[in-house]
């Protein structure tokens, strides 16, 4: 299973608890004895793919170092209505601090994993990678990318600093495709950086300009209609890794994959996902 950056996770937990005012939970302080211990069950109210069990464990352990977690379903498991995900035994006041944060983030991550799984299923058997974009929730990208990998998809880069992607705006600012490519290669040489160069093209004319000039690692065919996409892939003929982006849905992703592209950028993976409904049921220990 894919790992989560523990430094980022700790920061997320601390910020989430602080946002929720965990240090002054007046309702729990007033109504729950300090020594109270409870056992709670986390269960599903939807069908889908679960993601965030590891996050839930980390949150429970943060609010109560003595928490005992019994995991029933692991991250990446398919779940059905009323399935038990885990049991948690911990200080009751601590549980009250953790429960809403756990539910909120696990619903979100499980929604991403579920949609990712559905996209992966649609292209099953085809040699194509489905990649998320940078269209993520600010400060949650590390968890959202993790969840989509749990579901079966992946991502091209984690941020602006680990790859070069030349878009239409970069081209406009540089005045031409050739200039943009040359500027990038000169920069990488000067900075002694070894980064892949991806360039987006919007039509066959731009594609030909890239093919004539070279100097890139991969080409993204942005918003190409299917017949033109197939023509473009055939024209590249394996000279560069080639991908498709723009308007990708569950209904058309297989047709796009069948054109022979190496990868497909799917903004929907982190933009239009739903949530997987989850709930806690608590019993006094």
SS3 of 90, please? strand
The per-residue pLDDT of the chain, averaged, comes to 96
Cα–Cα distance measured from residue 244 to residue 233, given in angstroms and rounded to the nearest whole number = 10
Supply the CATH classification number for the domain 6-113+274-284.
3.90.1170.20
Token pair 């069908």 is found at 47
Q: Cβ(220)–Cβ(227) under 8 Å?
A: no
Strand ranges for the chain from DSSP E = 37-44, 48-49, 68-71, 78-79, 84-91, 129-132, 154-155, 164-166, 197-201, 218-222, 241-245, 263-265, 278-284
In the chain, where the domains are located = 6-113+274-284, 154-265
Report the range of poorest mean pLDDT among 1-10, 107-116, 253-262: 1-10
Name the pLDDT band for 215 (thresholds 50, 70, 90): very high
115-154 pLDDT tens trace:
999 999 999 999 999 999 999 999 999 999 999 999 999 9
pLDDT for the residue 274: 84
Q: Cβ(270)–Cβ(137) under 8 Å?
A: yes
How far is residue 147 from each of residues 111, 143, 268, measured CA to CA in Å? 9, 6, 14
How far is residue 251 from each of residues 122, 247, 248, 254, 274, measured CA to CA in Å? 8, 10, 8, 7, 17
Sequence-distant (≥ 6) Cβ neighbours of residue 54 within 8 angstroms: 4, 75
Threshold 0.85, pTM exceeds? yes
Token pair 């982190």 is found at 270
223-232 pLDDT tens trace:
999 999 999 9
Q: Which of 83, 135, 128 is nearest to 229 (CA)?
A: 128
Supply the CATH classification number for the domain 154-265.
3.20.20.70
pLDDT for the residue 139: 95
Cα–Cα distance measured from residue 177 to residue 213, given in angstroms and rounded to the nearest whole number = 9
Q: Is the pLDDT of residue 217 over 90?
A: yes
What's the CA dihedral at 35, 41, 42, 48 to 10 degrees?
A: 170
Average pLDDT over residues 8-19: 97
Q: Is the pLDDT of residue 272 over 80?
A: no
Residue 23 DSSP class: G
């Amino acid at each position: 299973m894919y790992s989560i950056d523990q430094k980022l996770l700790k920061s997320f937990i601390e910020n989430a608890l602080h946002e929720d005012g965990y240090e002054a939970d007046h309702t729990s302080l007033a109504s729950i004895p300090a020594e109270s211990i409870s056992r709670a069950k986390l269960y599903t109210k939807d069908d889908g793919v679960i993601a965030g069990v590891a996050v839930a464990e980390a949150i429970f352990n943060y609010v109560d170092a003595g928490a005992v977690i019994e995991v029933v379903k692991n991250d990446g498991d398919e779940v059905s209505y009323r399935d038990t995900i885990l049991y948690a035994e911990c200080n009751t006041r601590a549980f009250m601090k953790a429960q809403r944060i756990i539910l909120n983030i696990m619903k979100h991550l499980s929604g991403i994993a579920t949609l990712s799984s559905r996209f992966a299923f649609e292209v099953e058997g085809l040699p194509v990678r489905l990649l998320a974009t940078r269209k993520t929730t600010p400060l949650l990208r590390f968890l959202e990318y993790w969840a989509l990998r749990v579901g079966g998809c992946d991502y091209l880069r984690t941020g602006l600093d680990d790859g070069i992607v030349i878009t239409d705006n970069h081209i406009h600012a540089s005045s031409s495709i050739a200039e943009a490519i040359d500027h990038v290669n000169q920069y990488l040489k000067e900075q002694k950086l070894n980064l892949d160069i991806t360039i987006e093209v919007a039509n066959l004319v731009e594609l030909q300009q890239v093919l004539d000039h070279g100097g890139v690692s991969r080409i993204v065919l942005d918003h190409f209609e299917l017949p033109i996409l197939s023509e473009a892939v055939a024209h590249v003929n394996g000279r560069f890794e080639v991908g498709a982006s723009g308007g990708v849905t569950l209904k058309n992703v297989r047709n796009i994959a069948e054109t022979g592209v190496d990868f497909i950028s799917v903004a929907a993976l982190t933009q239009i996902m739903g949530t997987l409904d989850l709930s806690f049921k608590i019993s006094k220990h």
